[in-house]
Amino acid sequence: MKSKTLVLIGIALVVIAGCSGNQITNPVNQPPLITAMAVTPEQAHLGDLVTVSSSAHDPESQNVTFNWTATFGYFIGSGPTVTFNTIYCCVVGVNEITLTVTDPQGNSTERKIWVSIE
């Protein structure tokens, strides 16, 4: 009788120990990924319109927002493809364009690209 009790206690301990490892954890939200960026043309003249395009996605398949900024000049449009307007660009030379992609939880990723203005 004593050995049956010890066996049952041992089995109960194994079952309890096995169940404690099955805790549910919430996955950590990952920031969006920018997989590509391009400017066309890469060299432009002051006053030209330059197409800036990107490809980005969220690992959790949520919608993302695109925010384009530049040292000089401004953008026409929104989303993954915009037009960089160099008409009011004050600097001839290399101009930095920054893309920030943000998911609904506020996680963001930033990437830069450059366009040469003559």
The per-residue pLDDT for 18 is 55
The per-residue pLDDT for 26 is 80
Report the C-alpha gap between 34 and 110 in whole angstroms: 8
Q: Does CATH number 3.40.350.10 belong to domain 33-117? A: no
Low-confidence stretches of the chain (pLDDT < 70) are 1-22, 89-90
Question: Minimal CA–CA distance to 101: which of 55, 60, 61?
Answer: 55
pTM of the model: 0.76
> What tokens were used for 95?
């101009």
